[in-house]
Amino acid sequence: MTLLGISGSPRRGGNSEEVLFSFLEGAAKKGCETEFIRLNELNFHPCQACDRCRDTGKCVIKDDMQLLYPKVATCDGLILSTPIFFGTISAQLKMFIDRFQCWWHAKYRLNRPFISSAEERPSFFICVGALKKKEYCESAEKAVEVFFNVVNLKSQGSLCFRGYDAKGSIGDDPQNLKKAFLCGEVFARKIVKSDGGSP
């Protein structure tokens, strides 16, 4: 059972990444194998809206996204994390999501989704923002919700922390990372049960 954790933060070891690390640690404690990917260290481009994927469901841009498509297609669970920038997700995460336009064609035009909706593979979203406006997290959640729906991943919820700006400040309150750790444990249990194993 492999969980794929993807960080959309441009800041290595930033607040949203720290929350993601704690979440993955909790899942690993319950027996899940985890993989972490930092989008900012990959070489990939934004969607070019060329529509050359409409007949195959596959993106024609040859860059590091070609390494991520099979990972998303085969993982048992996906967790996305991002800081909140200008009221929504980071540019890195938005680029990643937009590049799944090919999967939109695969699902809605070709009726050949890469993940079957019957599998009900779980997903989760994490975001951390400096401002305390609730609507900023809600905007980010909505964007990610659309993505999860398009790729046929079943959202298990989100963790959104507001009022944390300086690097590492999310850890000023130990309860924040503990909460993420516990959410990771719960997330892992759901995967184990759906796979037929013991909780």
% of the chain surpassing 90 pLDDT: 91
pLDDT tens per residue across span 132-185: 888 989 999 999 999 999 999 999 999 999 999 999 999 999 999 999 999 999
Q: What is the domain extent for residue 41?
A: 2-194
Q: What CATH code is carried by the domain that includes residue 75?
A: 3.40.50.360
Buried b (16+ CB within 10 A) or exposed e, 104-118: bbbbeeeeebbbeee
The string of DSSP letters for 171-191 reads GGSHHHHHHHHHHHHHHHHHH
pLDDT of residue 19: 98
Q: Is residue 25 part of a domain?
A: yes
Query: How do residues 55-84 score in pLDDT, each as one tens digit?
Result: 999 999 999 999 999 999 999 999 999 999
In a domain, residue 164? The reply is yes
Distance (Å, whole) CA 139 – CA 193: 32
Average pLDDT over residues 73-101: 97
Task: Write down the pLDDT at residue 44.
Answer: 98
70 belongs to a structural domain:
yes
What is the pTM assigned to this prediction?
Answer: 0.94
What is the number of structural domains in the chain?
Answer: 1
Q: Residues 115-127: what's their mean pLDDT?
A: 96
Cα angle: 60, vertex 66, 68; to 5 degrees: 140
**Inside any domain, residue 187:** yes
Average pLDDT, the chain: 94
Q: Does residue 101 sit within a domain?
A: yes
* pLDDT surpassing 70 at residue 9: yes
> Distance (Å, rounded) from C-alpha 107 to C-alpha 54?
10
Q: Does the residue 65 lie in any domain?
A: yes
Answer whether residue 143 is part of any domain. Answer: yes
- Position 49 scores a pLDDT of 97
Nearest residue to 166 (alpha-carbon basis) of 128, 135, 196, 127: 128
Backbone angles phi, psi at 170, to 5 degrees: -60, -25
Residue 199 lies in a domain: no
CA distance 74 to 80: 16
Q: What tokens were used for 116? A: 């079957």
